[in-house]
Structure 1
Amino acid sequence: MHPFFQELKQGSQALGLNLSDEALGLLLKYQDALVLWNKAYNLTAIRDPKEMLVKHLLDSLSILKDLPAGRLLDIGTGGGMPGMIIALCQPERQCVLLDSNGKKIRFLKQFIADLKLKNVIAVQTRVENEDSIRELGQFDVITSRAFASLLDFVDASKPYMHEKTIIAAMKGLVPQDEIEQLQVEFSCKVIELAVPRLDEQRHLLLLERI
């Protein structure tokens, strides 16, 4: 058994998730691959696997219960957070992981190939690339953990949205000023998250066109 198996199981249960042993195993394979590739490719600033478990895996898992259904786009996925983690836990959901960083996308493509994952693809492109916008089409849910500005994230998402698309933005503190600037066009539901063993504020913002 993986040394972090019980820790991940307990952490996911504390988040109200009932993940199968298979899903937990896949998440730990992903973390092991991230640790390995990180040595050469610098995919994440977090080096310690125990810290990764909390700040990457559990942090990403914390949005799972509140995430709307449907085809998902993860903009600025980096090493795959939260998109890859969502894809591993929800094999019925189609996920596209998008990033302009070649090293990070190479890692994700290799991991997808090694595990023969059918519900997720990784695409190296800039979010505003018009060919990519045409090829990838529209999504039901658009996530990001990477955008500093909520306004920038919403702008980047717009070409990939249909009328009912929900933007699911992961944030630390609630950016109240930005939410107010968006309220002419979007309603925003703020969900407070509690990530086990993480003593920092976390929120999920669900934005929908009015």
Structure 2
Amino acid sequence: MESMELGTERSGEPVVHVIDDDKHVRDALLDLFLVTNLRASAYSSGTEFLTTADTTGPGCVVVDLRMPGGTGLDLQSELISIGSRIPVIFLTAHADVPASVKAMKAGAADFLTKPFVSHDLLAAVDNAIRTDAERRKRDAERNHIRALADTLTPREHEVMVGVVAGLMNKQVAYQLGISEMTVKLHRMSVMRKMQSRSLADLVRKVEKLQKS
């Protein structure tokens, strides 16, 4: 593995993982990303990348479509199978329409043909990293909300479901066979545990959970 990562002080920053069997291409791409102040590491094969890199960290993959011992599509398929959601950008010296369609359908971030314009690749990388960061932010928020919801008792959860459905306290009480006062107490507890100061915020949080 070749690397131009700039040290542990930059840990947590996105990394551009370059995968190409051609060393000249790897070196050229590492130089390109270095001068644009991006962390980058290079690998000669998909297997080397999968066995040595952190496929769960922030960043993106820039991979050659056609490589001996495993294509870029094979790598994309393997990443999907292990649950990695890191964006993948394909590079190819061949205008392979079927392969590009397959890659994009599988969620590829972009598909560029060699020789490519450096600006186009950098734009694709910037977009992939931005998309990945936004997805990670959404996931982190959803995980936080899920952790809050896990602190609710079964009854509090039932009350929350009724409240976000727009039911009044007395309607929730009738539906659950409990007193309206009990519903009010559970509702106060739900708002506190879900860290919601308004019904609108509680509804927003529940909607985010339902989308997960």
Same fold (TM over 0.5): no
User: What's the TM-score, normalizing by structure 2?
Assistant: 0.35
User: What's the TM-score, normalizing by structure 1?
Assistant: 0.35
- Which structure is larger by alpha-carbon Rg, 1 or 2? 2
Larger RCO: Structure 1 or Structure 2 (Cα < 8 Å, ≥ 6 residues apart)?
A: 1
Structure whose residues are more often helix by fraction: 2
Structure whose residues are more often strand by fraction: 1
